[in-house]
Structure 1
């Protein structure tokens, strides 16, 4: 596995790099966004660890957006301040999958890197590999999602969330189970994650995200995926 670290703080680059190498990662490190984007194109890493605030014209959010134009590579954002739901939404809109607050605890960092890589390699059950009702078309095996014939890009985490809900279609997945199945046991206490990510997923696949018909909320319980009969002209 190859990891790209983009951070203007040398101490952080070195500390994260040492920890990753101990876990048998090949590591490439850069000090600014432009260099990071060029290195991404040249090295094609398996995961990107990206600081949000960096000097120069290209901050972490911009780098993430540029990466998302060409690749589904998992992206972890590093933030030097407490993370709000709006921070997560801004990161998701740029294409990020994960946030971690500085100063980084190295064992937690590795656990979350590994969990993020697991999410990017979704194991799909044989029973629910595809869904098509004429409006929404999902091929879990090929990782393709289309809305009204238009391909929709999902981040690895958004795709894993959709896959888990579809594999349990018609049944409510409670928030704790959703956190464990999509994000991993390391995230059991991050109770706001499902709400924020479900909201983002609805924006991409629902005709009216405010009145969803596919991903429904069971108040104070969890979420369920609802199938629909194929549209007939």
Structure 2
């Protein structure tokens, strides 16, 4: 299935109070490989960003003033994600904003245009309970460099999340290999079962070896001030 890793930047935290999407970044994955067929748009939200949000993404009202409005890119976005599995970190946040934008345009909810939604935050919490599971924390955990991430950006974060997702789900790659190995092991086991064992040759200890062994046992008896445990073992018949 075609997979799309998606991230947004917004003017604030609450679409119900009028906050809008200002950037969308999408990264395409086919057969667990990044294709380079990405989707990235800056959007004029027709309002200012809240101070806290501006500190996170750094996208000023002036920079966004000549960018297209969401209505101008909505159909292009729908066509791009159509029928794909959408991978989002903390999916309820982004979906709330996308649904709010679609509702303004009388377009059905975002989820109705795609095959399924995968939330990597929920996935990470199941895999790493009790640990920090932010995108930065997951990058550290899986050895993915995010040193160039001074500010949040939708496309940059989607690219990082794509690498994190592939690292988190790496075990899926080895499924067919594991099955092949299991089959090979079973075949080898069957071959071994068919081989007749050679005659077992038992070499008896020589008299001098028995005497040397007895000397060692006596020294052990002396050290434990009694009878060492080896004396209690009954030799096989």
TM-score, reference length from structure 1: 0.26
Task: Name whichever structure is richer in strand by fraction.
Answer: 1
TM-score normalised by L of structure 2? 0.25
Return the index of the structure with the highest Cα Rg.
2
